[in-house]
Amino acid sequence: MSDPTIFERIIDGEIPAEIIRETDDVIAFLDANPLAPGHTLVVPKEAHERLRDVPPALSGEVFGVVRDLAPAIEDAVEADATTVGINDGRAAGQEIEHLHVHIVPRFDGDGGGSLHSVMGAAGGVDDPDLGGIADDIAAALE
């Protein structure tokens, strides 16, 4: 067994967090190093590293909490919009190996850019084979 992540220690009450929503299966708390006021993490209590590892019913619970919280947080901090995202895997920037959804309030002119700006420096894809990729994804779903 690997060591518990910091999120499991928050779930177990071992270390403090500003918990803003808790259900039987999901917990949400403020990010300790917020990108914006109200930056929140929504976390399944059961430890799963990647989105692909989360049982479908549990992923539904997680996104249900995201759906409830995003507008409430936006209203509470008087934000203009919200960015919702997952760093799903190390290459995507995941640091804590326990799946979590970031809810980041956004403000007019905050300079943060869109989700596209995250990958802007990577330069996109020349001559993308959209049809072939769509076929490969359909095959992977089978």
* Contacts to ligand AMP by CB under 6 A: 6, 17, 29, 31-33, 41, 87, 93-96
Residues labelled catalytic: 100
Shortest Å distance, C-beta 137 to ligand AMP: 24
DSSP run (H or E) holding 7:
helix 6-11
Shortest Å distance, C-beta 93 to ligand AMP: 5
Angle at 26 between CA 23 and CA 30, to 5 degrees: 100
Are the beta carbons of 85 and 59 closer than 8 angstroms? no
Distances (CA, A) of 36 to 45, 61, 83, 142: 24, 25, 11, 40
Shortest Å distance, C-beta 6 to ligand AMP: 5
Angle at 63 between CA 60 and CA 65, to 5 degrees: 110
Q: Which is nearer to ligand AMP, 71 or 93 (CB)?
A: 93
Q: Which is nearer to ligand AMP, 6 or 58 (CB)?
A: 6
Q: Which is nearer to ligand AMP, 34 or 133 (CB)?
A: 34
